[in-house]
A and B are shown apart, each in its own frame.
Chain A
């Protein structure tokens, strides 16, 4: 019986961490995958389903020359906020025909980031409508093509006809700090609206 008194190390009863999620929305090619990837501590994961024939001809790919493959499923990233709290990022296309996915995803989400490509802001309108109608708090992040921002924030805000109080930020989705700051702006907005008035 030698050795039998050596008990196997008790499975570390570390409880599963609490989890929260934030959605990253926007039209095709606006940089959702890039943003999830730049702030995630894991390589961004993707459960990918190829674009169906129904999508061909409908998805306007003009102006996104460098993007040859597009996703209809989830981009997925993770940020360990603390020992017992993990933040998940979910990016999926914001087109109306994918709203069935958003309905599930948005359950229990803290809020959302709507990414905008200034060259094609209209591709993100559906995402804005989605969150607005459901009362899900969101911020607008304008992703500069090659990190450049030719238009002032106020012009962009005006062109989007946003509800009062929705923050508009300029960002570079490729940059970790820039993308993190967008998430922080969302949290600041959530905290500001959650705090009892006065």
Chain B
């Protein structure tokens, strides 16, 4: 999950057009794969640009929920199950 940081840090360098598009897209949190699809760029390229932005402090990144096989999170599973049931 990637979110744009507002306001942008004062010392920020002028971003590339792709960077700007990412920042615009990520006003609301967005998954990396979704960014790649919207920009029509391979995920690997987007990841590199996200690293630039992360380094510049322009975005925050939240990793996916940590799932382990040994100690499954029953509450989480139930929550997903209930959410699907409401569809």
Task: Give chain A's interface residues, CB within 8 Å of chain B.
Answer: 11, 15-21, 39, 42, 45-47, 49, 73-74, 76, 78-82, 85-88, 90, 108-110, 135-136, 176, 180, 183-184, 187-188, 190-191, 193-195
- Whether A180 touches B74, Cβ cut-off 8 Å, given contacts A20-B67, A85-B79, is no
- Whether A90 touches B74, Cβ cut-off 8 Å, given contacts A19-B1, A21-B64, A39-B87, is no
Interface residues on chain B, number (Cβ under 8 Å): 35
Question: In the bound complex, do residue A20 and residue B81 qualify as a contact, i.e. CB atoms below 8 Å apart?
Answer: no
A17 to B36, CA, bound (A): 19
- CB contacts (< 8 Å) of A87 on chain B: these are 80, 83-84
Question: In the bound complex, do residue B29 and residue A17 qualify as a contact, i.e. CB atoms below 8 Å apart?
Answer: yes
Question: In the bound complex, do residue A187 and residue B81 qualify as a contact, i.e. CB atoms below 8 Å apart?
Answer: yes
| Residues 46-83 of B at the A interface (beta carbon under 8 Å) | 60, 62, 64-67, 69, 72-74, 76-83
Question: In the bound complex, do residue B84 and residue A194 qualify as a contact, i.e. CB atoms below 8 Å apart?
Answer: no
A111, chain B: closest CB distance, angstroms: 9
- CB contacts (< 8 Å) of A17 on chain B: these are 1, 29
Question: In the bound complex, do residue A49 and residue B29 qualify as a contact, i.e. CB atoms below 8 Å apart?
Answer: no
Question: In the bound complex, do residue B84 and residue A108 qualify as a contact, i.e. CB atoms below 8 Å apart?
Answer: no
- CB contacts (< 8 Å) of A16 on chain B: these are 1, 3, 29, 60, 62
A101 to B86, CA, bound (A): 31
Question: In the bound complex, do residue A85 and residue B38 qualify as a contact, i.e. CB atoms below 8 Å apart?
Answer: no
| Neighbour of B83 across the interface among A19, A42, A46, A82, CB < 8 A | A82
B25 near A: Cβ within 8 Å?
Answer: no
Top 7 nearest A-B pairs (CB, nearest first) are A81-B83, A45-B37, A194-B72, A16-B29, A187-B81, A16-B1, A16-B62
Question: In the bound complex, do residue A183 and residue B64 qualify as a contact, i.e. CB atoms below 8 Å apart?
Answer: no
Question: In the bound complex, do residue A79 and residue B33 qualify as a contact, i.e. CB atoms below 8 Å apart?
Answer: no
- CB contacts (< 8 Å) of A86 on chain B: these are 31
A130, chain B: closest CB distance, angstroms: 15
A183 to B36, CA, bound (A): 25
- CB contacts (< 8 Å) of B43 on chain A: these are 47, 73-74
Residue of A whose beta carbon sits closest to that of B4: A11
B77, chain A: closest CB distance, angstroms: 5
Question: In the bound complex, do residue A88 and residue B31 qualify as a contact, i.e. CB atoms below 8 Å apart?
Answer: yes
A193 to B76, CA, bound (A): 14
- CB contacts (< 8 Å) of B73 on chain A: these are 194
- CB contacts (< 8 Å) of A194 on chain B: these are 72-74, 77
| Neighbour of B81 across the interface among A18, A73, A184, CB < 8 A | A184
